[in-house]
Amino acid sequence: MDRDFLIDLFADFGPVTIRKMFSGFGISADGTNFALALRAGLYFRADEQTIPQFEAEGSTPFQYQTRAKTVTVNSYWQLPARLFDDSEELAEWARAALAAAQRAALRKRPKVGKAAKAVAKRPAPKRKPAKRNARA
């Protein structure tokens, strides 16, 4: 899938931003990534509310192979092939995927970086008492 194909595919959904990611593209709207276009196919963001819809279509979650094992990423599910021919329904699935991504973003707690943690743990510097003038 190339960039132009993806832009056409999401035409009924609305404007999307497409960025290089891994071996394909990350697809986002309103600053939120909600889909991945990879060699293995098109994957939409999913959560407990939308996974049953993917399961009903016989879709599977995104998987990749490491040297030691197969890793399953349950937050992205393969888009059913039939939706490539139905742009209006694909747009509905894309809106649901965007909503799932936005819900996930709300659940994430902001991470505190290592530098901020180190500063927070560091004790306040000790101050030397002021020297008194002996010539008074």
Indicate the number of domains in the chain.
1
| Global model pTM greater than 0.85 | no
Residue 54 resides in a domain: yes
Coil vs helix vs strand at 92:
helix
CB proximity list for 42: less than 8 A, separation 6 or greater? 1, 35, 36, 78, 79
Taking alpha carbons only, the member of 76, 80, 87 closest to residue 34 is 76
Residue 58 resides in a domain: yes
Residue 43 resides in a domain: yes
Structural domain harbouring 86: 3-108
Residue 131 resides in a domain: no
pLDDT (tens digit, 0 to 9) for every residue of the chain, 136 residues total? 788 999 999 999 999 999 998 789 999 999 999 999 998 899 999 999 999 999 999 999 999 989 999 999 999 999 999 999 999 999 999 999 999 999 999 887 666 666 656 555 666 666 666 666 656 5
Residue 41 resides in a domain: yes
Residue 125 resides in a domain: no
Which CATH number does the domain housing residue 56 bear? 3.30.1460.30
